[in-house]
Amino acid sequence: MTELLTAAQMRAIEQAAIASGEVTGLELMERAGRGVVEAIFEEWPELAPSWGPAPKPPEFSGQDEEGHRAVVLCGPGNNGGDGFVVARLLKEAGWAVEVFLYGDAEKLPPDAKVNYERWGEMGEVLPLTPQASLELAHRHIVIDAMFGTGLARPLSGLGPFLRDICDCVDAGGSLQLQERWPFSPPVVAIDIPSGICADSGRPIFDEAAAERIRRGSSPVCAAANLTVSFHARKLGHALALGGFWCGKVVCADIGISSQASRTLPRSELVKMANESGSRFKRNGHKYSHGHAVILSGSVGKGGAARLAARAALRVGAGAVTLGCPPAAVIENAAQLNAIMLRAVKGVDGFNAALEDDRINALCLGPGMGVSDESRGLIEAGLKSGRAMVLDADALTLIGRDALLFGMLHEKCVLTPHGGEFARLFPDLAETLAAPATTGPAYSKVDATREAAKRAGCTVLFKGPDTVIADPSGRCSINASVYERSAPWLATAGSGDVLAGFITGLLARGFAPMRAAETGAWLHTECALSFGPGLIAEDLPEELPKVFRALGI
Ligand SMILES: NC(=O)C1=CN([C@@H]2O[C@H](COP(=O)(O)OP(=O)(O)OC[C@H]3O[C@@H](n4cnc5c(N)ncnc54)[C@H](OP(=O)(O)O)[C@@H]3O)[C@@H](O)[C@H]2O)[C@@H](O)CC1
Ligand SMILES: Nc1ncnc2c1ncn2[C@@H]1O[C@H](COP(=O)(O)OP(=O)(O)O)[C@@H](O)[C@H]1O
Ligand SMILES: [K+]
């Protein structure tokens, strides 16, 4: 979980820095452009001025330019302004630079206009129109400075260029320049690939463009091998397919200070994880570290609950009891040791178990089934007022039953994946699934926040871009993208383990939002630590290693 900003927050930070006299808009644009050039040289040191002559394939010898070559595509706003700065700085470094402008130079905002004019003293600006002949092969870098955080509507008239850009990105595969040269130069997006909404990670397109996608013709947005953003990552770099479109994201420091953060920095998460580890177990006995009860399904359906129970115990709950129907006791007894087992006969049996007031956290749903009895168990759990995770079948039942939904309280954590979210909040899911035609688009953050408010409890909306929100509007993202990418988490039962982690943390006394944030973060850490080949059982077993690496 890194600090992620909306476009509006970024603008506010920029405006505050300018208003305080700390910096001018023009200086910020200069720093942004410089940040892009530095990031390029850092990523591809062979392009840096000190490195030596530009790579040249045999068929290229004899062509006019000896040095490195760039194409810079500028747009009508300040993103385009950054592009003019990059063009100038590369030219000053000895590059041959071709600059195209989409839009009317006269209408450029003031700082972008200044940089347009500065570039105008060094080279020409060609119009980026359907008639433009854009040659990307034999260039060392393509810069996408068409649209950034100000994208307001679908791109039009750029289809062929977007196709060329996406082809370069796809064809490259690797970031290695030598492997790409000369036909697939790397594409560097300034701030975010053009056409992607910086708040939602979703491409902005209309019905006409949707039809083009269906026909497999021009794409609706650009893609990039490297995206250079400023100050802090934006939501759009992490949500939806942002991680896919952006390639690799680096954040250039443009020298402004700010407090704005809607998500948790790593240090805070490490602190939380620390609290969940063994260090805080030095005092007290097992029940001072909480007692979690996890209800399992019927015979042959106990795997999910056993995974959750193991995860709850590993993450630090003092004691974990698996409650199962009497007929499933033998099956579960054969599989469990440290986890206690209790036969729970229907709702009465569960209510009897809940008389033990040491039980302070529940997990209902994994493998539970959607019978009337399951419904009764959920109702009993909710009535008990305990902190609880509601996952899987419990979410399906709550989605069907307004009475149960109305019983949700602030100590609950709902952990839906996309399908379960749609069952619980069909209208929000529909809004999120509808094509995004204007920016800023409705995002997974918006949907999860609205869901948490409506449910009156914490909602963790799973996926590679897991979003967690509570009813107060607090929101975090646990994005498994870039350096935290762990697609092998998409394995059967990994959601049950997540439910168990959160339950264990609730038992440890973590507040619901904190338990959900920490559980999601540890879940990804375990997956990263284990690596590909992971199955759900491996996740809790990886936790001691993760705790040790965190110094716990
Ligand atoms: N904030 C900061 O701290 C810093 C920001 N910096 C840079 O500024 C960028 C943000 O600049 P920005 O606000 O000018 O937005 P940007 O993305 O260039 O485009 C907006 C223009 O495009 C237009 N337009 C929109 N959609 C369109 C479409 N589909 N088709 C056609 N036109 C469309 C829109 O026009 P309008 O909607 O008003 O008609 C407007 O003219 C940011 O990403 C970063 O690179 C850095 O310099 C340093 C610090
Ligand atoms: N591509 C992915 N990258 C990272 N995490 C993922 C990815 N796909 C799924 N996950 C995570 O894996 C877990 C899957 O949970 P869920 O869908 O409930 O599966 P199951 O029901 O099999 O346990 C969630 O925590 C989700 O965030
Ligand atoms: K861009």
Q: Cα separation of 527 and 306, whole Å? A: 19
Q: Is the CB of 492 under 6 A from ligand 2?
A: yes
Ligand 2: centre distance to CA 498 (Å): 9
Q: Cα separation of 325 and 28, whole Å? A: 64
Ligand 2: centre distance to CA 219 (Å): 28
Q: Any bridge partners for residue 234, and if so which?
A: 5
Q: Is the CB of 396 under 6 A from ligand 2?
A: no
Please check if 395 is assigned to a binding site: no
Q: Is the CB of 416 under 6 A from ligand 2?
A: no
Q: Cα separation of 401 and 395, whole Å? A: 10
Which ligand is in closest contact with the Cα of 437? 1
Q: Any bridge partners for residue 139, and if so which?
A: none
Q: Any bridge partners for residue 478, and if so which?
A: 466
Strands 387-390 and 359-364: parallel
Under 8 Å between Cβ of 516 and 391: no
Under 8 Å between Cβ of 445 and 475: yes
Under 8 Å between Cβ of 324 and 350: no
Q: How far is CA 116 from CA 79, 94, 126, 150, 275, in A?
A: 12, 19, 12, 18, 53
Q: Is the CB of 486 under 6 A from ligand 2?
A: yes
Determine the straight-line distance between the first and last CA of the chain, rounded to whole angstroms: 19
H-run or E-run covering 363: strand 359-364
Q: Provide CATH code, domain 266-549.
A: 3.40.1190.20
Superfamily grouping for domain 4-52+65-252: YjeF N-terminal domain (3.40.50.10260)
Q: What is the pLDDT of residue 60?
A: 47
Average pLDDT of each block of 10 consecutive residues along the chain (552 residues)? 81 92 95 98 90 59 66 98 98 96 97 98 95 88 98 91 90 75 91 97 88 78 96 95 93 81 59 63 72 96 97 96 97 96 98 97 97 98 98 98 98 98 98 94 97 98 97 94 95 98 96 96 97 98 94 80
Residue partners of 519: CB distance under 8 A and separation at least 6: 315, 498, 501, 502, 504, 505
Under 8 Å between Cβ of 310 and 538: no
Q: Any bridge partners for residue 73, and if so which?
A: 100, 144
Task: Determine the residue type at 13.
Answer: I
DSSP assignment of 451-471, as one string? HHHHHTSEEEE-STEEEEE-T
Q: Whose CA is nearest to atom 8 of ligand 2?
A: 490
Please check if 80 is assigned to a binding site: yes
Which residue shows structure tokens 């909404």? 197
Q: What is the pLDDT of residue 49?
A: 86
191: left (phi over 0), alpha (psi -120 to 50) or beta: left
Please check if 464 is assigned to a binding site: yes
Mutate to test the pocket of ligand 1, among 15, 22, 149 (most ligand atoms within 8 A of CB): 149
Q: How far is CA 536 from CA 22, 220, 467, in A?
A: 51, 37, 21
Domain positions in the chain: 4-52+65-252, 266-549
Under 8 Å between Cβ of 499 and 366: yes
Q: How far is CA 172 from CA 175, 186, 191, 322, 364, in A?
A: 7, 7, 21, 51, 47
H-run or E-run covering 100: strand 96-101
Please check if 233 is assigned to a binding site: no
Q: What is the pLDDT of residue 172?
A: 62
Q: What would you measure as the largest C-alpha separation in the chain, in angstroms?
A: 87
* Structure-token pair, residue 152: 């307001």
HSE (side-chain half, CA atoms, 13 Å) at 204: 26
Please check if 149 is assigned to a binding site: yes
Under 8 Å between Cβ of 324 and 296: yes
Closest by CA to 86, choosing from 15, 46, 33, 122, is 33
Which residue shows structure tokens 């994005």? 479
Mutate to test the pocket of ligand 2, among 363, 489, 517 (most ligand atoms within 8 A of CB): 489
3-state secondary structure of 233: strand
Ligand 3: centre distance to CA 169 (Å): 14
Q: How far is CA 94 from CA 69, 114, 249, in A?
A: 9, 22, 26
HSE (side-chain half, CA atoms, 13 Å) at 312: 40
457 — phi, psi (to 5°)?
-155, 175
pTM of the model: 0.93
Q: Whose CA is nearest to atom 14 of ligand 2?
A: 495
Ligand 2: centre distance to CA 493 (Å): 8
Instruction: Give the burial class of 15: count Cβ atoms within 10 A of its Cβ; 0-12 exposed, 13-18 middle, 19 or more buried.
Output: exposed
Q: What is the pLDDT of residue 72?
A: 98
Which residue shows structure tokens 């008639």? 131
Closest by CA to 266, choosing from 518, 442, 18, is 518
